[in-house]
Chains A and B, each alone.
Chain A
């Protein structure tokens, strides 16, 4: 048992942190992330610099731009990136790329992996539809096999990143079978393909997400990932990677709250002391829950139950931090960043609406608990 980092891991973290502390584009990237508009020029600049060092995909083979390092290094980069830029995850480097690496054809690996690794392209997750939210297997977008291409028709919903990503990481129905999940395949679709329309929507927190419409879109055969009708399994595999969270951003919010309680004198109140202590205990548990995932991955143990638990731990802690923050700030907490009386630059006003998304996206807490119950505890599904 060891709750510290190895000297070489510390050294690596120091290098990464130094980059984020000194690079001129990092602050701009953070503003872009917080704006909810998606990747802008600063983000692409920072991703390019991280990519040139191999830091976006440290675990990948060198031939595809990786450094062949353990997963803990990936965690370290993400932790620092989350803290300094508020960008918590990348679809290409964090999820799709792993599936391409393990399931993709050699041509797909050559085509996409080096570009992902260098921070030149991004993917948008294409899973959710109006009738396929928690019940992902119910997705209906149709991909008809026409010999040398698939003809696609249908609609996706809440596909965040579609308005700035280059490729759609698309789950589509290739066969009508029971159980439904055995008729789903996974595709890489270039968003420039004729017939795709993207309609952008805004959340109450100003975050942009999208509906994506497919109208007789011809997708070349070589865009199929892995085997036909095995897509649902690949999506599940990718979800395990996707649920790697770091808590460094929300911990920094908690730290701000503790500092506020000290400087305002509110920290003398025993009720507030109890609440802040409890949140710090929960944050430590969340940090260790997060670290358990790369530790398991490095030992080739599938973390599907643990990753699902982490999502719940993270999202619920996030809720408690913003709620406790607004309780402690009192009426002042409702003031927006540009108000004269705003506290902590209106951070908690913003996070109060922004954090709801984390409860829902990439699997609700309730769906996660279903996964833990069946896969982790072995309880019967029916």
Chain B
């Protein structure tokens, strides 16, 4: 039993935290909410130079050869500062599936470019039916000689408007299949959605998009297995972001209660306030335990369906509860637009909804317990 990160992970967290504190100010986060692109290509380049894009990729593809748990240690810092941009879609939702399921040609083609920061990718999974199961995939790809013709509508595709390539989930005769789709292909129509968190989620309409058969990820018919794996990586990545985000919220809140004086004493000396702060800490501890356990299992390549869903169920609810308490304790000033708390509050909701909320994951846990 060991609850701490190893030396490599601790050093990475420390250097990432210093880097992001300088490079990702709240001013930058606010600017990116307004910005059309929603990320800074210059910062992206610097992150790539630090090795972040290829952190979990093997050295032969230009990566650093670290494991998933190390990536999680980095994502906690990314979540803490609310770093905007396509980091998680590119690294977690795209580079990992290519690494684990792609053909050798695909790995050689895509992974080094991702590692170098020269390729932005995202996952086009969800559709207007908003289902997260296999039956939710209605996008169809039909064979035509050496190509497939892909048609359908994808929703909540993160950062699709700036992505070079899409990893698109569709149905073919053999079953669910993932396609590597060049985002510049004729028939790919991308529209930014206006969201609560002002993050960059898109509608992507695929109108008879021609995709070469060699761009099937791995082989036809294995798509649902790949999606299930992406859902696990993705859910844990969201948990790690939530963890960093909530730790920052607790720090802000506790600092405030030590300084804010009412009734001639700091409000942090009132038990009503203290106990709410402790409730926040306990919820965050739960996120930490379950997220680290799930991430550890994933990096050991152990079955982790139960642990992943436990983590995402808890983190999803905690993200809402902790932010709400942060708001209640910090009072009127914190709901003002120029206060940082509102950035965390809005972003937490987006993370809660990504890859399934609490109810969704509790149902998975129930199934894993054998309840049917």
Contact = CB atoms under 8 A, between A and B. Distances in A.
B372 A267 contact: yes
A284 B310 CA distance: 8
Interface in A1-24: 1-5
A258 interface: yes
Nearest to A281: B310
B136 to A, nearest CB: 19
Contacts of A289: 285, 289
Contacts of A369: 271, 274-275, 278
B274 A379 contact: yes
A343 interface: no
Interface stretch (B3-11, B41-49, B92-100, B177-185): B3-11
Contact of B277 (A3, A261, A373, A382): A373
Interface in B247-302: 254, 257-258, 265-266, 268-269, 271, 273-275, 277-278, 281-282, 285-286, 289-290, 292-293, 296-297
Interface string A253-282: 000001001100001101011101110111
A157 interface: no
B314 interface: yes
Contacts of A273: 362-363, 366, 371
Q: Most chain-B CB neighbours within 10 Å: which of A72, A277, A313?
A: A277
B336 interface: no
A274 B268 CA distance: 35
A5 B2 CA distance: 9
A331 interface: no
Interface SS majority for chain A:
helix
Interface string A366-382: 10011011101111111
A3 B371 CA distance: 26
Contact of B363 (A274, A292, A313): A274
A288 B5 contact: no
B248 to A, nearest CB: 15
A295 B1 CA distance: 7
B278 A281 contact: no
A277 B1 contact: no
B370 interface: yes
A376 B254 CA distance: 11
B6 to A, nearest CB: 7
Contacts of B370: 258, 262
Contact of B3 (A276, A292, A309): A292
Nearest to A266: B371
Nearest to B286: A285
B350 interface: no
A309 B269 contact: no
Interface string A303-326: 000000100110000000000000
Q: Most chain-A CB neighbours within 10 Å: which of B1, B268, B307?
A: B1
Interface string A140-175: 000000000000000000000000000000000000
Contact of A291 (B1, B5, B6, B369): B1
B3 A370 contact: no
A354 to B, nearest CB: 24
Interface residues of B, number: 44
Contact of B313 (A278, A312, A370, A381): A278
A186 B30 CA distance: 59
Nearest to B251: A377
Interface in A348-370: 366, 369-370
A289 B284 CA distance: 12
Contacts of B24: none
Contacts of A1: 2-6, 9, 69, 292, 296
Interface string B1-38: 11111100100000000000000000000000000000
A379 B281 contact: no
B187 to A, nearest CB: 40
Given A1-B292, A4-B1, A369-B274, A276 B268 contact: no
A3 B302 CA distance: 12
B362 A377 contact: no
Nearest to B265: A382
B247 to A, nearest CB: 12
B314 A281 contact: yes
Contacts of B6: 1
A51 to B, nearest CB: 26
A319 B323 CA distance: 26
B233 to A, nearest CB: 17
Contacts of A377: 254, 274, 277-278, 281
A19 to B, nearest CB: 22
Given A285-B289, A380-B269, A381-B269, A274 B69 contact: no
B335 interface: no
Nearest to B72: A1
A276 B274 contact: no
A373 B258 contact: no
Contacts of B297: 3
Contacts of B282: 309, 312-313, 372
A329 B297 CA distance: 35
Nearest to B294: A3
Given A258-B371, A281-B314, A366 B363 contact: no
Given A281-B362, A284-B289, A285-B285, 14 more contacts: A4-B1, A258-B369, A262-B370, A270-B363, A277-B371, A281-B290, A291-B1, A292-B3, A295-B3, A313-B282, A366-B275, A379-B257, A379-B277, A382-B269
24 contacts: A1-B4, A1-B5, A1-B292, A4-B1, A267-B372, A268-B372, A273-B366, A277-B369, A278-B313, A281-B290, A285-B314, A292-B3, A295-B3, A312-B282, A369-B271, A370-B271, A373-B274, A373-B275, A373-B278, A374-B274, A377-B281, A379-B254, A380-B258, A382-B265
Interface of A: 1-5, 72, 258, 261-262, 267-268, 270, 272-274, 276-278, 280-282, 284-285, 288-289, 291-292, 294-295, 309, 312-313, 366, 369-370, 372-374, 376-382
